[in-house]
Chain A
Amino acid sequence: MAYPPAARSSPPRQPSVKVILASADVQRVVDRIAHQILEKTQGAADTVLLGIPTRGAPLARRLASRISTFEDVAVPVGVLDITLYRDDLRRHATRAVGPTQVPSGGIDGKRVILVDDVLFSGRTVRAALDALNDVGRPASVQLAVLVDRGHRELPIRADYVGKNIPTSLAESVKVTLVETDGTDEVKLYGGTTS
């Protein structure tokens, strides 16, 4: 989910578009993150993946399915909606609330890995940490993102990054996934196409 205000992320009228990751690249990147999670968590024991809607949710499911393919461990997957925890609720018209599904085993004492498509200001993750606090008390929290585009506004960093994309604030990053949009792609809108 691209968090910042619409004005900053909406493409200009005649956008220059650059494909950063094509379909096969997205799959390779997901595979790599799955391997990194297995490596860093010693086999993904006591781990729960929580996707942040919209596109973090299918990403979390994909990571879980790749992890079970590689190592034959079933990692519980859930969805964590952060709408009601956003710090800019008052600045926009009322936002629709998305579903939150916490795996039946809960998150108490588990290692929770938050999954989102783009890491930008860090405010989505801040909201997710607050939401997590109300759901339970994990042993630790990590963050996995498909794309890190920089420009953090809060002291937050990702543990697993699919692709670092240096951007200017005038540009916007758009992730599409088969589950939500029909194709797997990461595109950069605006700025120069150097």
Chain B
Amino acid sequence: MIRHLLSGADLDADTATEILDTAAEMATVAGREIKKLPALRGRTVVNLFYEDSTRTRISFEAAAKRLSADVINFSAKGSSVTKGESLKDTALTLQAMGADAVVVRHPASGAPHRLANWVDGSVVNAGDGTHEHPTQALLDAYTMRARLGRLAGLSVAVVGDVLHSRVARSNVLLLSTLGAKVTLVGPPTLIPVDIAAALAPGTDVSYDLDSVLPNVDVVMMLRVQRERMNDSYFPSAREYARRYGLDGPRMRRLPEHAIVMHPGPMNRGMEITPEVADSPRSTIVEQVTNGVSVRMAVLYLLLGGNNR
């Protein structure tokens, strides 16, 4: 069993499938009166968040608490980080407090990889810069499998700001491991040259959303990340929405069974219209629910046994 979860590439098909299967069992706990399992009693999980987050932090917190772990939430705001403490010193502090796992979100790509060298516990990447977000990819895969019954052979379009998207990178890695075919769609300025080949051979790139839609099982809309955009990647928000936004007429060109996903938070009216976001095809709320089960599975598989 793996010790850290830093990248979608850390998971081979067997391990990823084991996580999804375990998550399916964890999901049954949510339907019970007592939503708690004793598996991680006495273990400490630290949520180390250097970047704002609502759903990911709460999701990890709920997951750890449902497994009876003790949770310490650390956010950079209001901590010694504002006094200039480095990531390493913060890590050593957590180490001294006996953290069994550190769930880290950081604006710098690669920060969780550095952290993994400094602490004895397991490190889970909860999003690092524009690099990776492996648990999001796992919950997306779980949602696809739950809705469509399989992953192998699925055709998945990932649409939008691929350049800045850690969700896209982790999804391409994990989905190709699990046998799905990914097509990256977006304006040329937001799709790095050679990204498909660099991440996973067999991944396609298209700049024309309308030609891709009739042939996909899943369309995953990415958030336009205004906070990471320092240059003009497209002329205007309206033009982006017209060419790459998913609206009602575009949604109706999808195959009957196809689902629409979004990792959240959404810019309604930008990459996705309210009509699509609130339609029965949309899995956006399910993704949040599934996130807790998947993160429970990840924490259990990293911390549940004696894997040191």
Flag if B37 contacts A89 (CB, 8 Å). no
Q: Complex Cα distance A83/B302, Å?
A: 15
In the bound complex, do residue A89 and residue B32 qualify as a contact, i.e. CB atoms below 8 Å apart? no
Stretch of A3-11, A40-48, A130-138, A181-189 contacting B (4+ beta carbons < 8 Å): A130-138
B39 proximity list for chain A (CB < 8 A): 83-85, 89
Q: Mark A28-54, 1 if CB is under 8 A from B, else 0.
A: 000000000000000000000000000
Complex Cα–Cα for A90 and B306 (A): 5
Query: Quick check: B1 and A97 within 8 Å, CB to CB?
Result: no
Return the chain B residue nearest A98 by Cβ.
B25
Task: Count chain B CB atoms within 10 A of each CB in A81, A84, A99 and give the residue with the most.
Answer: A84
- Decide yes or no: A95 and B305 within 8 Å by CB, A84-B38, A134-B37 being known contacts: yes
Query: B29: nearest residue on chain A (CB-CB)?
Result: A134
In the complex, which residues of chain B have a beta carbon less than 8 angstroms from the beta carbon of A83?
39
How many B residues touch the partner, as a band?
A: 20 to 34
The answer to whether B304 has its CB under 8 Å from any CB of chain A is: yes
**Chain A 121-162 interface 0/1 with B at a Cβ cutoff of 8 Å (1 = within):** 000000000100111100000000000000000000000000
Docked-complex contact B33 and A136, CB < 8 angstroms: yes
- Do A92 and B306 have beta carbons less than 8 Å apart? yes
Chain A interface residue number, banded: 20 to 34
Q: Residue B301 at the A interface, CB < 8 A?
A: yes
Any A CB within 8 A of the CB of B36: yes
CB of A24 within 8 A of chain B?
no
Residues of A within 8 A of B300 (CB): 84, 94, 97
The digit string for B5-42, where 1 denotes a CB below 8 A from any CB of A, is 00000000000001001100110100011101111000
Q: Are B306 and A93 in contact (CB under 8 A)?
A: yes
Contact (Cβ within 8 A) A94 B304:
yes
Q: Are B301 and A94 in contact (CB under 8 A)?
A: yes
Which residues on the A side are within 8 Å of B236 (C-beta)?
A: none
B302: A residues at CB distance < 8 A? 94
Residues of A close to B25: CB separation below 8 A:
81, 97-100
A95 to B38, CA, bound (A): 14
Interface residues of B in 53-86 (CB under 8 A from A): 67
Within 287-308 of B, Cβ neighbours of A (below 8 Å) are at: 300-302, 304-307
A108 to chain B, nearest CB (A): 9
In the bound complex, what is the Cα–Cα distance between A95 and B34 (angstroms)? 22
Residues of B within 8 A of A89 (CB): 39, 304-305
Q: Which residue of B lies closest to A93 (CB)?
A: B305
Contact across chains for B36 and A134 when beta carbons are under 8 A apart: yes
Instruction: Tell me which residues across on chain A come within 8 A of B301, comparing CB atoms.
Output: 94
Q: With an 8 A cutoff between CB atoms, is A13 at the interface?
A: no
Task: Please state if B307 and A93 are interface contacts (CB–CB under 8 Å).
Answer: yes
Assembled-state Cα–Cα distance A83/B40 (Å): 12
Tell me the bound Cα distance from A127 to B25 in angstroms. 17
Instruction: Assess the A96–B38 pair: CB atoms within 8 A.
Output: no
B22 x A96 contact (CB < 8 A): yes
**Residues of chain B contacted by A84 (CB below 8 angstroms):** 37-39, 67, 300, 304
Complex-state Cα separation, A98 to B21, whole angstroms: 9
Task: Report chain B residues within 8 Å CB of A81.
Answer: 25
How far does the alpha carbon of A161 sit from the alpha carbon of B28 in the complex, in Å? 31
Question: Chain A residues with Cβ under 8 A from B1's Cβ?
Answer: 93-94
Chain B residue nearest in CB terms to A87? B38
Can you name 21 A-B residue pairings with CB atoms under 8 Å?
A81-B25, A83-B39, A84-B39, A89-B39, A90-B305, A90-B306, A93-B306, A94-B1, A94-B301, A94-B302, A96-B18, A97-B21, A97-B25, A97-B26, A97-B300, A98-B25, A99-B25, A133-B34, A134-B32, A134-B36, A136-B33
Question: A83-B39, A84-B300, A94-B305 are known contacts; what are 13 more A-B pairs with Cβ within 8 Å?
Answer: A81-B25, A85-B37, A85-B39, A89-B304, A90-B306, A93-B1, A94-B300, A94-B304, A95-B304, A97-B22, A97-B26, A99-B25, A133-B34
10 closest residue pairs by CB, A with B: A94-B305, A84-B39, A94-B304, A134-B34, A84-B37, A93-B305, A97-B25, A97-B22, A94-B1, A94-B301
